[in-house]
Structure 1
Amino acid sequence: MRILMSALQPGGGIRTFFRYIYSQPCFSECSFTLVAPGRSLADFLAEFIPDNRITVVPARHGNLAFTRQLRELIADGDFQLVHSHGFSAGLLTELARTGYRIPHLMTAHDVFLPAQFSGWKGRAKHVAMSLLFRRMTMIHTVTEDAGRNLLEFFPAIERRRVHGILHGVDTEYFRDGTPRALKAELGLGEQTPLLGFFGRFMGQKGFRLLVDALEEIHRTRSVVPLPHVATFGWGGFIREDYEYLRNKGLTDYFHQCEQTDDMAAAIKGVDVVVMPSRWEACGLLGMEVLAAGVPIVGSQCIGLREVLEGSPAQTVPVGDSRELMKALVAELSERESRRSDFVRFQPVAVEKFHIKRPAERLWRLYTQMLAGERA
């Protein structure tokens, strides 16, 4: 099967998708040509994807040039299917295939928020996007939650064209990881509770909610010894966020760690992972933590609630630092028994979130689309 792929912003989420999905055996008979910016992407994929499975073609600069580039490749007639990744790439790819019968699948790696369509410019953008979404052969979302979000904002899309497939991770890697001695590295005693924050420093990930929750725990002394936080995020507003906690007098309780290539070890090195996100397309970190058998407290936001549903995880309302504080106090007050709850759930998580399941479902979607085109 020869597939043309496109991506305009192949950041962390899309890279992780490529790494996990296209390394699976079900794609062994596929040949992918990926049009995307960034010289490092080819090197990244070469580390994880079998040789000759994905060929990266540098994207031309600018939306018009990118669209023309895709149209030229489609016109060559060497591909059976086009698969775009992300809303921007999806919309431009749909324009590029105008006049051609080749089927087009878009994977939505994000969700929509009301503020995106405010004002007359926002409404005009919505009309144009709706028209192009309705033309696409199929749309794949990485959670059912994200699929409902898409249809809520674009109800004119035929429901049968939207396929929510809960994403997955390398659960065996997280199950089998060796815990990192983080407390010793940070100079903390074994009895000191250590929370882990693995999100980026941006409003979406809710870091300041965690800071506010810790401030309240410290004020009330509701957990003894007082908990510390190890952060592993990067970029975004890290300076501003650390200034925020400095102004609250919490500098000594937050520890910024270097980025790690061994996430399983880092996750297993903390007592509780905190994920107070405001929204997610798919809460992959939640899958990784549950597969590692480590307690997690998360928000009830879109894309994360679906992951944590049915697990022992406590969930709190989005944006509510007071409820987050209460959940953390409850979690840390019963650390041993709560850890046992998550260890017992671990085999369920390993099977439920294994990457083989979404990869095979995506493969079946490919074959379904090709069968429909032949028909």
Structure 2
Amino acid sequence: MTILHISQPVDGGVARVVVDLVRGQREAGHRVLVACPPGGRLAGEAAAVGALVREWPARRSPGPATAAEVWRLRRIVRAAGPDVLHLHSAKAGLAGRLAVRGAVPTVFQPHAWSFAAVDGALAGATLRWERYATRWAHRLLCVSVQERTDGVTAGLHAHWAVVPNGVDVRHYAPADRRAARIALGLEPAAPLAVCVGRLCRQKGQDVLLTAWPEVRRRVPGARLALVGGGPEEARLAAMVREGAEPSRVRLVGDVADPRPWLAAADLVVLPSRWEGMALAPLEAMASGRPVLLSDVPGARESLPPSERAGALVPAEDVSALITRMAEALSDPIECERRGARLREHAAARHDVRSVVEQVDALYRDLLGAGPAPGRRRARVPQWI
């Protein structure tokens, strides 16, 4: 089949999900196209695994340029002639559904709800849009049961599907901690917490830095590394300076490959404010490292039941984060044991090859099902 993925953003977890899907779909023999803005990693990495990339200039947030973005997207869809249109994240979901309006079998994957990311009047407007736009998505694909539950609770009436996120467990294999630390210029024996993720409000690195001085007081030799770049980088750097911790906290910046940092870690922390199902914890688990996560959508489902009590804290609960981090960093042997158990879980439940197979089955079901009950499939408009 011909599959057209449309994505904005072009970095972070969403981009990695798209590239993983493209790789698996090309290996299965499908014709795959990706429409995305220039810049970032997505275009180059998607092309490298066999996608035909179409440049779609689009800003991350809606605004005056949205109408022109929709018009450009119509032309891309018409030229591609896809059997399936797969829209990734809120902005692509907005522009793609306006451009096609259900005329092409459409899968919308929110990668965390847009209305959870904003407050006030904007949250209300975003929610009203999502309720209205479900009519133009033949399947609404969530990465966790909780994400679907939150959508249902918010009043979205859709044809739901749930496929948990996955990672390439062969790529994220356990590696020697000491060798990784030497290569990165880190102290070989110091307890090390690592946070991998885009530096933005969603990922909660500010919560982590607020907790860090007390963690250091309880575990004096501990070190912290923030791996990633993003809009909050300057503010987080200021927090590090103001906390007098520049020698104990390292802002690494964006990296092409996080595996050396995962290998070096005793504990991987992601104190997100919201998620669908974050990839960074899955990568850490596949690398044989224990995780500490905010109990947001997707986090609980990504963990085996036996690990949830020790690996989850309430979102933005600084006190709970301090306690759990200090406990973990004080016991590196238990961290090692937990990491081994989580590696087994990731290999069994979150292998990206299974994700690709489930998405392929969803597409085939969609193409064979015909119009949803009570709906008449729209005739393809002339501009498509």
TM-score by length of 2: 0.84
Distance 1:360 1:333, change over 3 A: same
Moved more, 258-267 or 330-339: 258-267
Please give the TM-score of this superposition, normalised by the length of structure 1: 0.86
Once residues 37 and 305 of structure 1 are traced to their aligned partners in structure 2, the CA distance between those partners, rounded to angstroms, is 33
Query: Could you say which residue in structure 1 is the equivalent of 2:118?
Result: 116
Does residue 365 of structure 1 match 2:354? no
CA distance 1:347–1:72, shift in 2 (3 Å): same
Distance in 2 separating the partners of 1:270 and 1:371? 47
The amino acid of 1:335's aligned partner reads: P
**Per-residue CA shift, 1:210-268, capped at 9, x if unaligned?**
2232211334xx22x42111221212222221211221222221122354333222201
* 2:319 corresponding residue in structure 1: 322
Aligned residue for 1:81?
84
User: What is the alpha-carbon distance in structure 2 between the residues aligned to residue 345 and residue 94 of structure 1?
Assistant: 38
Preserved contact between residue 210 and residue 276 of structure 1 (Cα < 8 Å):
yes
Tell me the CA shift for residue 300 of structure 1.
1.0
- Given residue 91 of structure 1, which amino acid in structure 2 is its aligned partner? L
Aligned-residue CA RMSD (Å): 2.7
Q: C-alpha distance in 1, partners of 2:129/2:204?
A: 32
Identify the residue that residue 12 of structure 2 maps to in structure 1.
12
Structure 2 gaps of 5+ residues are: 59-64, 373-384
Q: Please tell me whether the aligned partners of residues 208 and 271 of structure 2 are also in contact (alpha carbons under 8 angstroms).
A: yes
- Indicate how the Cα distance of structure 1 residues 196 and 124 shifts in structure 2: closer, same or farther if over 3 A, else same: closer
CA distance in 1, matches of 2:127, 2:257: 41
Q: For residues 8 and 178 of structure 1, do their structure 2 counterparts lie closer, same or farther at Cα, with a shift above 3 Å needed?
A: same
| 1:3/1:79 contact within 8 Å kept | yes
Q: Could you tell me which residue of structure 1 aligns to residue 100 of structure 2? A: 97
Counterpart in the other structure of 1:63: 66
- C-alpha contact (below 8 Å) 1:298/1:314 kept by paired residues: yes
Aligned length: 363
Structure 1 contact 279–304 (Cα < 8 Å) conserved: no
What is the Cα deviation at residue 174 of structure 1? 1.3
What is residue 269 of structure 1 aligned with on the other side? Answer: 264
Matching of residues 169-318 of structure 1 within 5 Å: 169-179=167-177, 181=179, 183-184=181-182, 189-219=187-217, 222-223=218-219, 225-257=220-252, 259-310=254-305, 312=307, 313-318=310-315
CA contact (8 A) 1:271 1:295 kept: yes
Between the two proteins, what is the percent identity of the paired residues? Answer: 23
Structure 1, unmatched stretches of 5+, are none
2:114/2:126 contact within 8 Å kept: no
Match of 2:348 among 347, 351, 356: 351
**SS of structure 1 residue aligned to 2:354:** helix
Instruction: Tell me, in whole angstroms, the C-alpha distance in 2 between the residues paired with 1:232 and 1:342.
Output: 20
